[in-house]
């Protein structure tokens, strides 16, 4: 093969890989922050502090994470409470939600909620 053809093929392959990596979508769930709920939705999405504490305690019980590192961040499209865990060792976080009596964890790679 011609050296120019080989170099062109390698360059095109690199462009395809780079384009694919930069265009990956973020499939994170849509979270409605508690402070940003519109006045029309406040009536239906009003959440008591005891409900939030109960959810945080459920997550802590299922994960053995410290309650101090768990925080309520809002509700998702299913009106489930969403709790965020901030890791000590890195900037990483984990999302959990309380659906009835169940706790689910967000699997970013699969873009799904997994029951715990």
What Cα–Cα distance (Å) separates residue 7 from each residue in 2, 10, 22?
A: 9, 5, 23
DSSP H helical segments within 1-116, as ranges? 3-22, 39-45, 49-63
Confidence of residue 3 (pLDDT cuts 50, 70, 90): confident
Token output for 105: 């964890």
3-state class of 116 per DSSP? Answer: coil
pLDDT in tens, 56-68: 999 999 999 999 9
* pTM of the full structure: 0.63
């Amino acid at each position: 093969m011609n050296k120019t053809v080989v170099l062109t093929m390698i360059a095109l392959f690199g462009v395809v890989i780079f384009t694919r990596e930069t265009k990956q979508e973020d499939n994170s769930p849509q979270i409605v922050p508690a402070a940003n709920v519109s006045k029309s939705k406040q009536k239906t999405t009003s959440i008591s502090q005891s409900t939030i504490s109960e959810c945080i305690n459920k997550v802590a019980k299922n994960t053995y994470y410290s309650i101090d590192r768990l925080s309520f961040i809002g509700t998702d499209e299913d009106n489930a409470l969403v709790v965020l865990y901030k890791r000590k060792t890195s900037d990483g976080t984990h999302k959990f939600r309380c659906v009835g009596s169940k706790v689910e964890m967000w699997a970013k790679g699969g873009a799904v909620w997994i029951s715990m």
